């Protein structure tokens, strides 16, 4: 059952070939066996999960099941879940048990899904390797000496290692698509505002977006049918009619125009990754699609723009973590200011402190116009580049990451090299567009182990269902998404 799709699992549950309790026990057993090495989960509570599974079985018996009823789903530890420890990968929230559910968690509960546990992540979603977590680094199931990507690396590793059928993630600058690429699975960052951010601990409010991570595009569509929807508690949530994200899965690709940005195939892209991506594009041509050359000239500015805007928003969002109301508080202090300073010094890791300091600097008097305001103007130019490109094509394709999974510790002393891991994904967040990564093949590592490569598909606003259909067509013609890391059976 561990390799079954969400649709196959739903069919097995409906036919009583397996119960939700049995299915949940299967994955809990795999977590017990493999998580000590992978470190994909921060919190697992078998009692809570099995209680939900029992409720789901009763629902199925009454004939009230939906497509995801009884199916275990892992939740990134950035989503508040009532009664569950919710840490955001930080010492600052190491003892925080949420008193309420995030909208995304509520939606899965209403659908009858089972919360399998809370997955590890870069601290406050700040990182591209899942090495900044206070709870330790996550390992890539394809090679335990390499990173799974970040910040949703725990979710990616859990799905790739079959410690969960699917998982939630968040994407601020590529944090779903980059780990999906490095771990060989499918991941979707929806249009900004399609999924509510209520109860999702904020990093950069104008960029953060929840999304699904699973083995296939079809699975992503089923998850989006649960996750997407208006929420009045989130001022950035878009009030739109409910839609079926699986409606275009069987659409033909004849006449599809794929834009290939010259900037995505220039210096900095690993040769092996480039070959795999080109082969994937060739497969799309065989399926009836056409390709056109396009340009996104301001892509090169996306990294500096992001690392002005995101830290600025983070410095504001993280100011609430002061030891007064909840979370970590320094054990010894002499006055209120001392409590603030010691609590934040002890509670935040190095990368979070770095970004808070950068953000405070660019928002300070004398630097706001020079940095923050200018970055906002360039952000608009980046969005205009995409608008111009979509006049020439239906979707844009290219690599999701410039290379394959790198060695643990390889880039921790070089923040700029780490930031460049998101060079192909960040612009999508700055423009608020939907983007996804699907498995496209492998490149052999130095030790001969196969390392996954992801193909990125970028669509226009609210084109998620069409993008999922485009990904599904490729996965019907290839089997990359079915491959499983050796040694975790």
Residues noted as catalytic: 76, 151, 175
Return all residues near 455 (Cβ < 8 A) that are at least 6 apart: 276, 277, 280, 281, 397, 398, 399, 400, 437, 438, 439, 440, 474
Q: E strands along 94-141, which residues? A: 114-119
CB 266 within 8 A of CB 297: no
CA separation for the pair 359, 129 (Å, rounded): 21
Q: Could you tell me the strand order of the sheet in which 290-294 lies?
A: 41-43, 114-119, 72-76, 166-170, 210-214, 186-189, 435-444, 450-459, 395-399, 257-261, 290-294
Is 197 in a helix, a strand, or coil? Answer: coil
Pick the closest to residue 53 from 86, 27, 82 (CA basis). 27
CA separation for the pair 135, 88 (Å, rounded): 10
The two tokens of residue 303 are 């990294």
The backbone torsions φ and ψ at residue 360, rounded to the nearest 5 degrees and listed phi first, read -65, -40
Return all residues near 342 (Cβ < 8 A) that are at least 6 apart: 330, 332, 333
Question: Could you give the angle at the alpha carbon of 176 between the alpha carbons of 170 and 180, nearest 5°?
Answer: 150
CB 80 within 8 A of CB 101: yes
Phi-psi label, residue 421: left if phi above 0, alpha if psi -120 to 50, beta otherwise: alpha
């Amino acid at each position: 059952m561990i390799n079954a799709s969400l649709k196959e699992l739903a069919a097995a549950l409906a036919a009583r070939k397996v119960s939700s309790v049995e299915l949940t026990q299967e994955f809990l057993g795999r977590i017990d066996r493999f998580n000590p090495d992978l470190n994909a989960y921060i919190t697992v509570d078998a009692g809570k999960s099995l209680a939900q599974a029992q409720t789901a079985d009763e629902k199925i018996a009454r004939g009230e099941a939906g497509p995801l009823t009884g199916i275990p789903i892992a939740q990134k530890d950035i989503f508040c879940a009532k009664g569950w420890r919710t840490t955001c990968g930080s010492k600052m929230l190491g003892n925080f048990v949420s008193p309420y559910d995030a909208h995304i968690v509520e939606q899965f509960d209403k659908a009858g899904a089972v919360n399998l546990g809370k997955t590890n992540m870069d601290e406050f979603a700040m990182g591209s390797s899942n090495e900044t977590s206070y709870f330790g680094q996550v390992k890539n199931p394809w090679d335990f000496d390499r990173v799974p990507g970040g910040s949703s690396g725990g979710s990616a590793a859990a799905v790739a290692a079959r410690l969960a059928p699917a998982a939630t993630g968040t994407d601020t600058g590529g944090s779903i698509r980059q780990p999906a690429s490095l771990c060989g699975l499918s991941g979707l960052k929806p249009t900004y505002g399609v999924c509510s951010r209520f109860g999702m601990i904020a990093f950069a409010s104008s960029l953060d977006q929840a999304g699904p991570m699973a083995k296939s595009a079809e699975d992503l569509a089923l998850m989006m049918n649960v996750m997407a929807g208006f929420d009045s508690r989130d001022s950035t949530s878009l009030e739109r009619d409910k839609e079926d994200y699986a409606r275009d899965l069987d659409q033909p690709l004849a006449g599809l125009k794929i834009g290939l940005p010259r900037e995505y195939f220039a210096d900095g892209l690993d040769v092996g990754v480039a070959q795999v991506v080109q082969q994937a594009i060739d497969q799309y041509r065989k399926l009836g699609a056409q390709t056109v050359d396009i340009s996104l000239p301001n892509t090169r500015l996306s990294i500096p723009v992001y690392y002005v805007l995101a830290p600025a928003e983070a410095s504001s969002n993280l100011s609430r973590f002061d030891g007064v109301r909840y979370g970590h508080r320094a054990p010894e202090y002499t006055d209120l200011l001392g409590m603030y300073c010691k609590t934040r010094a002890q509670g935040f890791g190095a990368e979070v402190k770095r970004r808070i300091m950068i953000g405070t600097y660019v928002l300070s008097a004398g630097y706001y116009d020079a940095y923050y305001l200018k970055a906002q103007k360039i952000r608009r130019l980046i969005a205009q580049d995409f608008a111009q490109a979509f006049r020439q094509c239906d979707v844009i394709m290219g690599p999701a990451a410039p290379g394959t999974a790198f060695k643990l510790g390889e880039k921790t002393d070089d923040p700029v090299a780490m930031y460049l891991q998101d060079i192909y994904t960040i612009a999508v967040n700055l423009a608020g567009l939907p983007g996804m990564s699907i498995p496209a093949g492998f490149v052999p590592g130095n030790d001969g182990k196969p390392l996954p490569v992801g193909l990125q598909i970028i669509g226009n606003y609210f084109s998620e269902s069409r993008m999922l259909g485009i990904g599904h067509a490729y996965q019907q013609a290839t089997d990359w998404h079915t491959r499983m890391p050796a040694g975790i059976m």
